[in-house]
Amino acid sequence: MEKEIYLAAGCFWGAEHYLKQLDGVVFTETGYANGHTQHPTYEEVYTDTTGFAETVHVRYNPQRISLKYLLEMYFRSIDPTSLNRQGADEGTRYRTGIYYTDADDRPMAEYVMEQEASRCSAPLQVELLPLSSFYRAEEYHQDYLAHTPGGYCHLPSSLFEEARRQRDTDTIQKNDRYALVLRQMQSLAEGETDEVALMANMAALLHDTFGHWWTGFYRVLGDQLVLGPFQGPLACMRIAYGQGVCGTAWQRQRTVIVPDVERFEGHIACSSESRSEIVVPVWREGSIVAVLDIDSRQLAAFDDCDRYWLEQIVG
Ligand code: SME
């Protein structure tokens, strides 16, 4: 599984050189994003009349680096309170922005921006928008600093050294643990067909391995979800279709990740301790028969790494 995000961080020469060194980033290219003309050239963008921002297209492996960590690293490379200026580079083409192609990434980006904002004394000037257009820059601008020794760069070289040393150890560790859980579940599932027994052991195994606040299942019964095997404190017993995070995942027929439950409209608070949540539908023969729900006391505890593994494990 690979994911992508587009990051505007001032001059794209330095920005690409920085982002490509992060462990888990698998591809970068420089280009022009979210302007209003077609196929702009560098010279056109340079006039600052096309609306484009110099941007780095980043593809990453969410099993090695989370979007949260990637965005935190991005923030280290910019002055987020500076409007249309990074280092000596000035103009709307040098504005900062996070442009996503997957709307599900927005809540996590909002969470990271809020955390960053709380550390800044001035308001953030970083845009958070869906990607509306992107044109790859001329070859001359690709990997510019790697093939131009001493080339202009608005970022200090110490930042690149730091980037090379970075590891998203939380994600790497989480990934290894899930791989083990999957193997354990596969051997538990051998020869066992009773779904309640499997759900019970899966809840126990996940709960033991990760120590989250609440781990369990709701089963589809008619037009409601009814509490199934779980580990953790008492929980609400029935959830209607489309209600709460669980009912929403059932309705949307896909995994829902909520970095901050207070920002999810209609979240059902079984406990005030729960701060973030992931709900994964369980399929049998083309229909959803249950959902796996995991709650954490930490904000933003779940991401695409959890989604990737939990979908396989319940599968
Ligand atoms: N928070 C869930 C309800 C289930 S409890 O978290 C165990 C929801 O909004 O659907």
Which residue ranges make up each domain of the chain? 3-167, 170-314
Mean pLDDT over the full length of the chain: 96
Name residues contacting ligand 1 (CB within 6 A).
214, 235-236, 239, 244-246, 267-268, 270, 274, 277, 293, 295
Look-up of token digits 């590891």? 167
Domains 3-167 and 170-314 alike in fold = no
What's the 241 CA to ligand 1 centre distance in angstroms?
13
DSSP letter, residue 4: E
Position 18 pLDDT exceeds 90: yes
Is 3-167 a domain of CATH 3.30.1060.10? yes
Give, in order, the Cα–Cα distances in Å from 54 to each of 50, 69, 111, 188, 311: 11, 22, 24, 51, 36
Provide φ and ψ at 95, rounded to 5°. -70, 165
Among 1.10.150.120, 3.30.450.40, 3.40.50.1390, 1.10.10.10, what is the CATH number of 170-314? 3.30.450.40
Q: How far apart are CA 241 and CA 231, in angstroms?
A: 23
Residue 85's pLDDT is: 96
What distance separates the 2 farthest-apart alpha carbons in the chain? 68
Position 299 pLDDT exceeds 90: yes
Q: How far apart are CA 245 and CA 232, in angstroms?
A: 18
Residue 120 a catalytic site member: no
Pairing mode, if any, of strands 89-90 and 85-86?
antiparallel
Predicted confidence (pLDDT) per residue in 116-153, tens digit: 999 999 999 999 999 999 999 999 999 999 999 889 99
Categorise residue 300: left if φ over 0, alpha if ψ from -120 to 50, beta otherwise.
left
Q: How far apart are CA 99 and CA 263, in angstroms?
A: 21
Predicted confidence (pLDDT) per residue in 188-229, tens digit: 999 899 999 999 999 999 999 999 999 999 999 999 999 999
